[in-house]
Copies of this chain bind each other. A is one copy, B any other.
Amino acid sequence: MTNQPIIILVHPQLVENIGMTARAMANCALTELRIVAPRDPWPLGEVHLQRMMAASSGADSILEKAKLYDTVEEAIADLNHVYATTSRTNDMTNRIMTPRAAIPDMVERTRNDEKVGVLFGPERMGLINDYVAMAGTKITIPLNPDFMSLNLAQCVLLIGYEWYQANDSTPANQIRLGKSRPATRDEYQNFFNRLQMYLDEAGFFTADDQRPVMSRNLQASLQRAEMTEQEIRSWHGVIKALVLGPRRSTPSKLVEDEK
């Protein structure tokens, strides 16, 4: 991603939250941070600096490259489109979007080489209406209306998370195979046939008319397991051990011949 949204903290109060914001940004592969008139003046004193760095959990480079501004106007001056996060319900007329609805538009803009940024207001208060009015898109994160206390860095994380997902190609549902591969239908069938043979020998199917139904049910539960070739081999071993019992459960010439 060459072009990504710039995170803009407006009047942040706590240096810990600036540090945690950098950490959340790093989690989402965002690198550009702008800070407008933080409560503690920059450059920070030693104590504040250490608290911020500790909270960033190693996202130092984002903090070191962060740019400081006196006003929101200056911080957004070079941007083509601004998103404002707000939980306010006020009398202002606003088109409000969820992050999930707003992010595809953000992705499109960055791909069209627009420079975009997201405004986050100070802890507790959020963005004042004057700053919300400066933004082309207003974003409100749908969360529990009975517990609105969303930490600043967590708000950044949720926007960054949605951004990352929109640009990510991780399969939604994948098998990590370790050293094996998914079993073939043939390997599945061989295993089930052997299981059924042993069960017949052991007199498992007491009534002949139950056999097809029970057999299908057993097979269905095996199918749901979606085993690997390695796992099928392990279960061959399990069955063999059960059939041969304690005296014979160590591999013997006879067992090997059975393969």
Interface residues of A (CB under 8 A from B): 20, 23-24, 26-29, 57-59, 89-98, 100-101, 140-144, 146-147, 149-151, 154, 157-158, 161, 164-165, 168, 170-180, 226, 228, 230-231
Contacts and interface: CB of A to CB of B under 8 A. Distances in A.
Q: What's the number of copies of this chain in the assembled complex?
A: 2
Top 10 A-B residue pairs of the complex, sorted by shortest distance between their CB atoms: A101-B172, A91-B178, A26-B147, A29-B144, A142-B170, A57-B149, A142-B168, A94-B176, A27-B143, A97-B173
A9 to B, nearest CB: 17
A96 B226 CA distance: 13
Name A's interface SS: loop
Contact of A29 (B26, B101, B140, B146): B146
A143 B28 contact: yes
Nearest to A178: B91
Contact of A144 (B27, B90, B146): B27
A222 B166 CA distance: 31
Contact of A151 (B23, B94, B149, B171): B23
A142 B165 contact: yes
Contacts of A90: 178
Contact of A58 (B147, B164, B173, B231): B147
Given A27-B154, A28-B143, A226 B176 contact: no
A125 to B, nearest CB: 15
A93 B151 contact: no
A177 to B, nearest CB: 6
Nearest to A181: B93
Contacts of A28: 143-144
Nearest to A26: B147
